[in-house]
Amino acid sequence: MTNPPASRPGHQPVLKSISTRYLTRFVPIIVVVFAVLIAIYGTITYRESKADLAAKLDTLLARQSLLLGEAVANRRDDRIGLLVAQTIADRDVATIAVLDKNGNVLNKYGSIPDRADALVGRMAINHMSADSYERVGTLIVSMSDGPAIASLVNSLVYISLLGLALIGSAAVAAHLVLRATVSQPLDMMLNAIHIQRDSGARIPIDWESQDQIGQVVAAYNALQSRQTKTEADLTRLRDKAERAHQSKSDFVARVIDEIRTPLNSIVGFSEIVSTRRFGPDTIQRYISYAGNINQAARHLLFLIENVLELTRLEGGEVEPVFVPTPVVSILRRAEANAASLPRNRDVRLRVTGGKSDRPLNVDEGLMVSLLGKLLENALRHTPEGGKVELSYEVRPSGTACFTVTDPGPGMPEEEAQRLLIPFAASREFEDRGFHGSGLGLPICKILAELHGGAIEITNLAAGGFAVSVLLPPSRTIEIEAKPSDASARGDEKPRTDHHAAGAPVQHLNGAG
């Protein structure tokens, strides 16, 4: 509510108060309007007083000429003098002269004025004789507009002072009223907004009025209370959801843990039995059953580990650490891991590309496990003597692309897309979906998405099946950039990377 005294032009102070801004516009306008009105009034009054003077001169001339008639005719100088004195008593009369019919001055007060002036009048002095009238002389009177103008100026000054006093009091009143009705609630509101911005506390504004300001304040209060309620609801819901998710994750992890321990003993003991580790045994059928148990238990273990991994990935428990990594290193590690994977006889793995490519800003461990899952699947389904290929290329769009190709049987495109959804693939193709777990590709999809990328599945024209991991161009690192810088940038802006990933993901969806 700081209200600097009326602003001086040229200073240009910052006017923060509404009433000051209002008055700095209002007062000059009113003063100008008032000045114009005063000028108009003054002009009209001046004209009127001039016209009044002219009319008065006419009457005066007529009367005095009539009164002077007999005196001039009879040359009664004392009477002429008396009438002249009577006339000049009027302060508006400047000069008077009485002439006889020959133009000789009989009596006068002041000099005889020119005829040209508007406020000078001449009148014949007639006298009636016995049967007619005759002209006996001339009366010349001039008026002065000095007193009239002086009184006009006086009244204008009084009116101006009154008007200025009125404007001043109106300005003060307007300022007070504005402060009471507008500035005060606005300041309270502004204060509340500042407090909310600084500390987040929502303070209701205590202002009661029915005008627009009051309505705005009421609306603001309503908005704030609704906002407070919404925020409380949101917090409650989020807490609830988090609790629910946490308990679900905990439950799953716990169950899996509980299952895994007995499963491990099943696997271990059945393996001991089937491999006849403690010496040869006789009944071949038991041995083969134990082998079956071992195989099933292994599958179950694999399935459970996949579920656990998927749960961890979906729960956001895995935080990727992006580090610039040479492509070759990723390919080598994936190849090395693939060496221990089960495969049919004479199935060969060929790794191509990546030698001269730019390093990628990725989490190496996650990428290797991603490629490992793809390779495992490919190797498992490649018939004897087949060839699995892992290749790396950078597409013209800048998208980095790891592709695993195998010559195994393909599947319809829409079914391939369903492989990306946990347990969504139909049973017919389930075997294709990673050891029957139905979880391998969904895990790969999540891993790719963690890098802002996507998975692309294509049936090759020559027969066979290609799964590509697409990484957005932002994952490739500029050669001239120092690795440390690049890693810092990568860590700082994982979000932008995810945004950039939008294009390949959509591309994938479009292809599907």
Partner 1 sequence: MKCNKSKALQPIDLRPLALAALIAALFWCAQAFGATPSRNLSENGLALRGYDPVAYFVVGRAERGDAAFAATYEGATYHFASAARREAFLLEPRLYVPSYGGFCAYGVAVGQKFDGDPEVFLLVEGKLYLQLDRATQALWKADLDKNIAIADRTWPVIAKIPAAVLND
Binding site for partner 1 (CB under 8 A): 43, 47, 50-51, 53-55, 58-59, 61-63, 65-67, 69, 118-119, 121-124, 126-128, 131-133, 135
Q: Which is nearer to partner 1, 52 or 231 (CB)?
A: 52
Q: Tell the smallest beta-carbon distance from residue 123 to partner 1 (Å).
A: 6
Pairing of strands 348-352, 387-394: parallel
Q: Tell the smallest beta-carbon distance from residue 192 to partner 1 (Å).
A: 55
Q: Which is nearer to partner 1, 61 or 425 (CB)?
A: 61
332-353 residues labelled b (16+ CB within 10 A) or e (exposed): ebbbeebeeeebeeebebebeb
Nearest by Cα to 453 from 390, 505, 506, 492: 505
Q: Which is nearer to partner 1, 134 or 413 (CB)?
A: 134
Q: Which is nearer to partner 1, 133 or 158 (CB)?
A: 133
How many CA atoms lie less than 13 Å away from 315 in the CB half-sphere? 20
Q: Tell the smallest beta-carbon distance from residue 133 to partner 1 (Å).
A: 4
Give CA–CA dist 175/32, Å, rounded.
19
Pairing of strands 323-325, 120-128: unpaired
Q: End-to-end alpha-carbon separation of the chain, Å?
A: 65
Q: Which is nearer to partner 1, 52 or 491 (CB)?
A: 52
Q: Which is nearer to partner 1, 131 or 414 (CB)?
A: 131
Give, as one character, the DSSP assignment of residue 140: E
DSSP string, 36-98: HHHHHHHHHHHHHHHHHHHHHHHHHHHHHHHHHHHHHHTT-HHHHHHHHHHHHTSTTEEEEEE
Q: Tell the smallest beta-carbon distance from residue 104 to partner 1 (Å).
A: 18
Q: Which is nearer to partner 1, 126 or 487 (CB)?
A: 126
Q: Tell the smallest beta-carbon distance from residue 79 to partner 1 (Å).
A: 13
In degrees, rounded to 5, the angle at the alpha carbon of residue 114 between the alpha carbons of residues 109 and 118 is 100
Q: Tell the smallest beta-carbon distance from residue 132 to partner 1 (Å).
A: 7
Q: Tell the smallest beta-carbon distance from residue 158 to partner 1 (Å).
A: 24
CB atoms within 10 A of CB 370: 26
Q: Which is nearer to partner 1, 65 or 476 (CB)?
A: 65
Give CA–CA dist 470/454, Å, rounded.
5
Q: Which is nearer to partner 1, 122 or 358 (CB)?
A: 122
Q: Tell the smallest beta-carbon distance from residue 157 to partner 1 (Å).
A: 22
Q: Which long-range contacts (CB under 8 A, 24 or more apart) does 309-312 make?
A: 309/439, 309/443, 310/422, 310/439, 310/442, 310/443, 310/446, 311/249, 311/252, 311/253
Residue 466 near residue 404, CB atoms below 8 Å: yes
Q: Tell the smallest beta-carbon distance from residue 119 to partner 1 (Å).
A: 8
Q: Which is nearer to partner 1, 62 or 421 (CB)?
A: 62
Q: Which is nearer to partner 1, 56 or 260 (CB)?
A: 56
Give CA–CA dist 474/400, Å, rounded.
9
Q: 487 in the Ramachandran plot: left (φ > 0), alpha (ψ -120 to 50) or beta?
A: alpha
Q: Tell the smallest beta-carbon distance from residue 57 to partner 1 (Å).
A: 8
Q: Tell the smallest beta-carbon distance from residue 121 to partner 1 (Å).
A: 7
Looking up tokens 């303070």 gives 203
Give CA–CA dist 417/456, Å, rounded.
9
CB atoms within 10 A of CB 393: 14
